[in-house]
Amino acid sequence: MFCPKCHLLLYPKDGKMVCRKCGYETERTEGHVVVEEHREKEISVLSGEEEALPKTNVTCPKCGNNEAYWILRQTRSADEPETRIYTCTKCGHRWREY
Ligand SMILES: [Zn+2]
Ligand SMILES: [Zn+2]
């Protein structure tokens, strides 16, 4: 966080971020930091998943390779069937089967 007036680093004070030079105050933005950490965790979980994914013989629509990882993804609506998502082992292209 930087002061918009003098572009100096803001310091935490009484739960706010304060500029020591001009006294500018703003709310702390810890919420953003939490969101970003959460996103990083999701990515690491996903990449860990892919190593253990089962493979199947299916033709990649992009490169024609006939082997792909697959995963079942439950849709949010209970009325809809599960979607099978394929990831090509060769080019990494992803597509889904309805
Ligand atoms: Zn300032
Ligand atoms: Zn492919």
- 65 and 36 belong to one structural domain: no
Tell me the three state secondary structure of residue 85. Answer: strand
| Ligand showing the shortest atom-to-Cα distance for residue 69 | 2
> Do 79 and 36 share a structural domain?
no
Cα of 51 vs centre of ligand 2, distance in Å, is 17
Tens of pLDDT, residues 23-73: 999 887 655 544 455 555 554 555 555 557 899 999 999 999 999 999 887
> 14 catalytic, yes or no?
no
Virtual torsion, Cα 30, 10, 18, 1, nearest 10 deg = -40
pLDDT grade for 9, boundaries at 50, 70 and 90: very high
Residue 18: the pLDDT is: 92
Quote the pLDDT of residue 74.
Answer: 72
The neighbour count for residue 89, using CB atoms within 10 Å, is 15
Tokens at 93, concatenated: 């292209």
Question: Is residue 10 domain-shared with residue 46, that is, in the same domain?
Answer: yes
For residue 24, give its domain range.
1-52
Backbone angles phi, psi at 64, to 5 degrees: 85, 0
pTM of the model: 0.44
Number of domains the chain contains: 2
Q: Are 30 and 46 within one domain? A: yes
Are 69 and 83 in a shared domain? yes
Residue 50 is a catalytic residue: no
Kind plus residue range of the DSSP H or E element containing 46: helix 30-51
Residue 93 · residue 63 · CB < 8 Å: yes
